[in-house]
Amino acid sequence: MTHALLYDTTLRDGMQGENIFFTPEDKVKLAKRIDDAGIHYIEGGWPGSNPGAKRFFELAKDIDFTHAKLAAFGSTRNPLKNAEDDPNLNALIDSGAPVITIFGKSWDLHVKEVMDNTLENNLSMIKESVAFLLGHGREVIYDAEHFFDGFKENPEYALQTLEAAYDGGARTLVLCDTNGGSLPSEVEDILTRVTRHFESAKEEIVYGIHAHNDCAMAVANSVCAVQNGARMVQGTVNGYGERCGNADLTAVIPILALKLDVDCISAECLKKIKNLSRFVSETANMTPLNGRPFVGKSAFAHKGGIHVSAVNKIPRAYEHIDPERVGNQRRVLVSEQAGKSNIEYKARELGVDLKGKEQNGRNIVATVKELEEDGFEFDIAEGSLKLVMEKLTDQFRPHFELMSFRVTIEKDQERPCYCHAMIKVKVGRKIEITSAEGDGPVSALDNALRKALSTIFPELDHMHLVDFKVRVIDGREGTAAKVRVLIESRDENNIFTTIGVSEDIIEASWQALADSFQYKLAMDSEKQKETT
């Protein structure tokens, strides 16, 4: 069986992506989760380049990693300094990291035109830097930056840079497609020529791949490299990274483990990949991509009635793997394209009893299609869908009823607009009247409703509105156009979405907001019944 080492650079290369930033404390949390997912190497940053990376390594000294080795990242020595006197190399040693990854220039264009250096001195820099770090008892990984571009223009010199790293003592040589412009056929050809060049090496070499995604080929190039002899894959969780990003480990790992039978991760750790993806997204404050392969919310979502009918019988008819193997789950979407199979499957998933009546299913299908014609989209608002199903099957029990609300918006010269909401709701036989302010009308309504209900339902303290989206369905009607409001909420264990549609944005917002509270309270009520 082929073996492969997984090298994560989310904390360094991933953080170079636009709008992505991790504090040293964030990086500690991420490192622990990446380690828990079974990754072999975690690159923590460049301690010689910024104080944040230096602080992370100070914090990381107290972490006992289960699977991973921690790596510090840096460059070869300064062209005008000896390795012993180079502050960046010494910062790598001082980081305390057991593994040090350094990069050197492979492309003569960079050496001569960008660095204003000589080709000979660049080779000395590579060899001496590797030897210096090895002399301090560290495992050294050499990243050959711009290797594929350099090889295409001057293969002799690109190979000389690898020879310099090898002569310095490096036994892990990582070929970098730094500009992300290579194709799998080029990776295969160049890697084959590299391995052939070093066939007579006295000690075994571990080859690696570090691919960027500028041609949308990072995952393909990484997989291709492993198929042609590479034994280390560098990448980031969710493919975060500079420009178009790096190879996405959440895709590379399942492909290697499940498609190519490469020994790189345990089955238990593989199941953690989806949660790791979501954790990194949330820490980076980036919206998770629903369509991300293997780990995305839509990766195993089925909408067409024919698809759902087949999946109910034989899942592999429309699924290339069992979603549970990567910690994901099958989802059936309900929309105007839905059929009876979708409704039955979705009802089971959401815990709605159709009571064996075909008429209930037909009523739900008809109502969903009618509502979607009106602007609703239930495939992205399953919280509201469950409530619709319960109402149509006489199972809905409202935890509160709206009697009235009033929202006022004020503006003066001194401050921006601010809002005040007063709400009157009925809970059982009790009537609650309260008011609250907010940054906008929806915020004010949310605060007022929460204030009215929290004394009766304290569990609402654990629910928070995390996303609010407004879309004009058809702008041709101008200010009379219908708007669709989606509200995403979460509690300690769940994320759920509700929807509202109206010509009035406040009305649409109220529909979605009220559904979110009803859904949350219904979930808690069901859990309470299960435990008693």
pLDDT, tens digit (0-9, with 9 covering 90-100), for 173-227: 999 999 999 999 999 999 999 999 999 898 999 999 999 999 999 999 999 999 9
Rounded to 5°, angle at Cα 335 from 331 and 336: 150
Dihedral sign (CA 29, 35, 38, 41): positive
The bridge status of strand 69-75 relative to strand 41-43 is parallel
DSSP-derived secondary structure letter, 416: -
Residues 71, 112 contacting (CB under 8 angstroms): no
Confidence at residue 496, expressed as pLDDT on a 0 to 100 scale: 87
Give the tokens for residue 174.
């990582």
Confidence at residue 377, expressed as pLDDT on a 0 to 100 scale: 81
Which of the four pLDDT bands, split at 50, 70 and 90, describes residue 139?
very high
Determine the Cα–Cα distance for residues 41 and 34; give it in Å rounded to an integer.
Answer: 9
Give Cβ neighbours of residue 380 (< 8 Å, ≥ 6 apart): 486, 497, 499
Sheet holding 401-410, edge to edge: 401-410, 418-427, 430-438
Which of the four pLDDT bands, split at 50, 70 and 90, describes residue 373?
confident
Three-state SS at 243:
coil
What value does the mean pLDDT of the chain take? 91
Distance of CA 284 to the CA centre of its chain: 9
Confidence at residue 337, expressed as pLDDT on a 0 to 100 scale: 56
The closest alpha carbon to 291, from 243, 234, 331, 261, belongs to 331
The closest alpha carbon to 99, from 68, 125, 56, belongs to 68
Predicted confidence (pLDDT) per residue in 227-268, tens digit: 999 999 999 999 999 999 999 999 999 999 999 999 999 999
Residues 237, 10 contacting (CB under 8 angstroms): yes
Confidence at residue 479, expressed as pLDDT on a 0 to 100 scale: 57
Q: Domains in the chain, start-ordered, CATH in brackets?
A: 5-284 (3.20.20.70), 301-392 (no CATH), 401-531 (3.30.160.270)
Element (H, E) at 358: helix 358-373
Determine the Cα–Cα distance for residues 241 and 430; give it in Å rounded to an integer.
Answer: 54
Count of residues making up the chain? 532
The bridge status of strand 41-43 relative to strand 301-302 is unpaired
Which of the four pLDDT bands, split at 50, 70 and 90, describes residue 144?
very high
Predicted confidence (pLDDT) per residue in 443-487, tens digit: 999 999 999 998 899 989 888 888 888 888 765 555 567 898 989
Query: What residues form DSSP beta bridges with 6?
Result: 233
Confidence at residue 336, expressed as pLDDT on a 0 to 100 scale: 57
The bridge status of strand 418-427 relative to strand 430-438 is antiparallel
Q: Which residue has the higher pLDDT, 335 or 68?
A: 68
Q: What is the CA radius of gyration of the chain?
A: 28
Predicted confidence (pLDDT) per residue in 380-416, tens digit: 788 999 999 999 998 899 999 999 999 999 887 777 7
Dihedrals φ, ψ of 80, to 5°?
Answer: -105, 5
CB atoms within 10 A of CB 45: 28
Determine the Cα–Cα distance for residues 438 and 416; give it in Å rounded to an integer.
Answer: 12
Determine the Cα–Cα distance for residues 511 and 107; give it in Å rounded to an integer.
Answer: 60
Confidence at residue 254, expressed as pLDDT on a 0 to 100 scale: 98
Confidence at residue 259, expressed as pLDDT on a 0 to 100 scale: 97
Flag whether pLDDT at 132 surpasses 90: yes
Confidence at residue 135, expressed as pLDDT on a 0 to 100 scale: 96
Mean pLDDT of 283-303: 87
Confidence at residue 478, expressed as pLDDT on a 0 to 100 scale: 58
Distance of CA 125 to the CA centre of its chain: 37
Confidence at residue 218, expressed as pLDDT on a 0 to 100 scale: 98
DSSP of 450-485, one letter per residue? HHHHTTT-GGGGG-EEEEEEEEES-GGGGGGS-EEE
